[in-house]
Amino acid sequence: MTVDELDLLGRLKDAPPLRPEAYERARRTLRETMAASAQARQTPPEPEAAPVRHERFTRARDRRLGLRVKVGIVAGLGMLAAATAIVPQLVSGRPSTEISIAAPPVVTNPSTGSPASVPKAANAKAVLLAAAKVSSKEPLPARAYWYSRVRRLDLVPEFRGQAEQWDSEVQAAVREFEDKRQDPNATAAEIATARARFEAKVRKVKSESYLYSAVKEQTVEEWRPLGDGNDLRVFNQDFKFYFASADDKARWQRRGSPKLYGSDQPQREEEKPAGGPEAWWNPSLTWSDYPKLPTDKEKLKAELMSMYEQSDLQKDGRDLRWYMWHTGVQLLTSPITPGTRAALYQVLADSDLGLKSQSNVVDAMGRTGTSLETQGHVLDSLKGGKVTHRLILDADTGKVLQLETLEEGLPLPTQRQTFVTTGYVDKQGNLPQ
């Protein structure tokens, strides 16, 4: 606030009272502003937080997902101020020693400071084909490393009993469904009934075992060689750890506030790439394969179908739609060639993914893009709720801005990756131009 504005506020005390019609206009304006701000709100809380890591579950989940950690930065605190009230902003810095919760900020347009546009429905196939067209015009750079800087958010769940116990119950339900699916005498109706029974059992096990979630945020940078060389990863940057909601914190306290442990110090890790699969659902696809993938739509589709047949996804009810979405996301955030990226968008546009799309969607950094989302599998859930996977694209470049997984009944995404910067560089330590 400037000095002139402060002087103006000081003179307000001498102003005459508002006329009734002016008072009602002011009330109506305030209601409309508050409604627009509520619709624009897209980001989760950014509280001061205790620096801890819960390794037991996050490491196990990272191994199951088989994903390389990719990273970015969360930005976009918003503030709605009135003449008679000032909303204090959160101050960034070293987290306090007490785990805390803060109200979610209002997302604003970074260029104007005004509330972001309300999302609008869009045509998913048209969005994908447009991304294919812009991707095909991107030049193929000759660089030695792939660089990524991503801000990552993960819910860290706590379960009743041992994780291995409820996981074994889930796997028992998976095997029961698989036995019925493999039965040559089973009818389509019987298999559908078995699937519904399997999903209901998994939801019941997960919902009864789930206790509460904390939230882990960190920024991770990676330099990965496209040829010979070592990976360099720097993680635990801008580390935050807090509870997903006041109810989660209360549940933690009722259980005696058990110790949550870990480190908030930035760590540097350098290692030789293992050369194995990049994701558990694609056992035959390695890091070195990315630049070699077909640039023709039909050839790429055939390649993807071949990899799907080599996976074991059908054993737990994950179908081709699940595979195409997750493989598409895996490739779109990796160093594939512009031709492969364009062909991939075309394949996804022709696939039956049940996609929904919206324009004017704001990511955690305040950037506006177009979203694509699909329904997830029950095994993707933490507490058995309905799961939605969402991707936000930059319509001008065809590049991914953000990935997130949302679950019904949870206050925050179960996972979110916000891609601050990705691109090719000549050597470790350099940043994309």
Q: Decide: 219 and 150 in contact? Cβ < 8 Å.
A: yes
Please tell me the predicted confidence (pLDDT) of residue 319: 85
pLDDT at 235: 86
Which pLDDT score, from 0 to 100, does residue 249 have? 92
Domain-embedded: residue 33: no
Is residue 28 situated within a structural domain?
no
- Residues 333/422, Cβ–Cβ less than 8 Å: yes
In this prediction, residue 274 carries a pLDDT of: 59
Let me know if residue 256 belongs to a domain: yes
Q: Is residue 88 part of a domain?
A: no
Q: Residues of the chain whose pLDDT is less than 70?
A: 1-118, 142, 161-166, 261-264, 273-275, 316
- Pairwise CA distance, residues 46 & 52, whole Å: 16
For the chain, what is the domain count? 1
User: Does residue 50 sit within a domain?
Assistant: no
Q: What is the pTM of this model?
A: 0.69
User: What local confidence, expressed as pLDDT, does residue 261 receive?
Assistant: 58
Structure tokens at 1: 């606030």
Residue 240 lies in a domain: yes
Q: Could you tell me if residue 70 is inside a domain?
A: no
Q: Residue 353 falls within a domain, yes or no?
A: yes
**Domain ranges, residue 414:** 120-425
What is the reported pLDDT for 396?
87
Quick one: pLDDT at residue 222?
Answer: 93
